[in-house]
Copies of this chain bind each other. A is one copy, B any other.
Amino acid sequence: MKPVKLGICGLGTVASGAVNILKRNAESIAGRAGCSIEVIQVGSRRLKDNCDLAGVDFTTDVFDVVCNPEVDVVIELIGGYDVAKELVLKAIENGKHVVTANKALIAVHGNEIFAAAAEKNVTVAYEAAVAGGIPIIKALREGMAANKINWLAGIINGTGNFILTEMKDKGRDFADVLKEAQDLGYAEADPTFDVEGIDAAHKLTIMASAAFGVPLQFDSAYTEGISQLSTADVEYAEELGYRIKHLGITRLHKDGFELRVHPTLVPEKQLLAKVDGVMNSVLVDGDAVGQTLYYGAGAGSEATASAVIADVVDIARAINVDAGVMVPYLGFSPEKITDLSVLPIDEIVSAYYLRILASDHSGVLAKVASILSEQGINIESVMQKESELQDGKIPMIMLTHEVKEKNINVAIEQIEALSEIEGKVVRIRVEHLSS
With a CB–CB cut-off of 8 A, which chain B residues contact A115?
334
Contact residues, A124-158 vs B (CB, 8 A): 124, 127, 132-135, 138-148, 150, 153
Determine whether A160 belongs to the interface, using a CB cutoff of 8 Å to chain B: no
Residue from B33, B257, B318, B325 in contact with A342 in the complex, judged by beta carbons closer than 8 Å: B257
Stoichiometry, as copies per complex, reads 2
User: Closest residue of chain B to A260, judged by CB?
Assistant: B345
From A28, A135, A143, A283, name the one whose CB has the most chain B CB atoms within 10 angstroms.
A143
Partner of A265, one of B215, B343, B353: B353
- Interface residue A210 (Cβ < 8 Å from any Cβ of B): yes
Closest to A385 in B: B236
Across-interface contacts of A287 in B (CB, < 8 A): 24-25, 302
Main secondary structure of the interface of A (DSSP, over half): mixed
Least CB separation from A267: chain B residue: B432
Neighbouring B residues of A324 by C-beta, 8 Å: 97, 122-123, 315, 318-319
Complex formed: what's the CA distance from A89 to B52 in Å? 48
Q: How large, as a class, is the contact surface on chain A?
A: 35 or more
Binds B, one of A5-13, A57-65, A413-421, A423-431: A423-431
Over the window 308-322 of chain A, the binary record of Cβ atoms lying under 8 Å from chain B Cβ atoms (1 yes, 0 no) is 111001110011011
Whether B290 and A293, one on each chain, are in contact in the complex, defined by CB atoms closer than 8 angstroms, is: no
Q: Evaluate contact between A146 and B29: CB separation under 8 angstroms.
A: yes
A431 touches B33 (CB 8 A): no
Chain B residues with Cβ below 8 Å from A397 are: 236, 240
Task: Let me know if B290 and A247 touch, CB within 8 A.
Answer: no
Chain A, range 235-277, C-beta contacts under 8 Å to B: 236-237, 239-240, 242, 244, 247, 249, 252-253, 255-260, 262-267, 270-272, 274-275
Of A39-47, A78-86, A216-224, the one with at least 4 CB within 8 A of chain B? A216-224
Q: Closest Cβ of chain B: how far from A130's Cβ, in Å? A: 12
Interchain CA distance A217-B244 in the complex, whole Å: 45
Q: Is B433 touching A25 in the complex (CB atoms < 8 A)?
A: no
Determine the residue in chain B with the shortest Cβ distance to A302. B288
- The 8 Å CB contact of A232, one of B24, B314, B336, B355, is B355
With a 10 A CB-CB cut-off, give which of A135, A255, A308 has the most chain B CB atoms.
A135
The distance from the CB of A111 to the nearest CB of chain B, in whole angstroms, is 9
The answer to whether B274 and A118 touch across the interface, beta carbons within 8 angstroms, is: no
Contact B265 A309 (CB under 8 A): no
- Which of B236, B270, B428 is in CB contact (< 8 Å) with A383? B236
User: A29 to B213, alpha carbons, bound, how many Å?
Assistant: 11
> CA of A154 to CA of B251 in the docked complex: distance in angstroms?
30
Q: Write out the residue numbers on chain B whose beta carbons fall within 8 Å of the beta carbon of A237.
A: 353, 428
**Looking across the interface, which residue of chain B has its beta carbon closest to that of A95?**
B323
Q: A288-B302, A289-B297 are in contact. Are A318 and B309 (CB under 8 A)?
A: no
Please report which residues of chain A, range 182-229, place their CB below 8 angstroms from some CB of chain B when the two chains form the complex.
Answer: 209-217, 220-222, 229
23 contacts between A and B (CB under 8 A): A25-B147, A28-B148, A29-B146, A32-B141, A135-B292, A142-B310, A142-B331, A145-B309, A145-B310, A220-B342, A236-B383, A236-B397, A249-B431, A256-B343, A263-B429, A264-B430, A265-B430, A271-B275, A285-B435, A293-B296, A314-B327, A315-B324, A321-B321
Given A24-B148, A289-B302, 16 further pairs, Cβ under 8 A: A17-B288, A32-B141, A122-B323, A123-B324, A153-B433, A212-B340, A215-B330, A217-B341, A236-B383, A252-B340, A256-B340, A258-B343, A262-B428, A264-B431, A265-B428, A272-B433
Interface residues of A (CB under 8 A from B): 17, 21-22, 24-25, 28-29, 31-33, 97, 110, 114-115, 117-118, 121-124, 127, 132-135, 138-148, 150, 153, 209-217, 220-222, 229-230, 232-233, 236-237, 239-240, 242, 244, 247, 249, 252-253, 255-260, 262-267, 270-272, 274-275, 283, 285-297, 300, 302-303, 305-310, 313-315, 318-319, 321-332, 334, 336-343, 345, 347-348, 353, 355, 381, 383, 395, 397, 399, 426, 428-433, 435
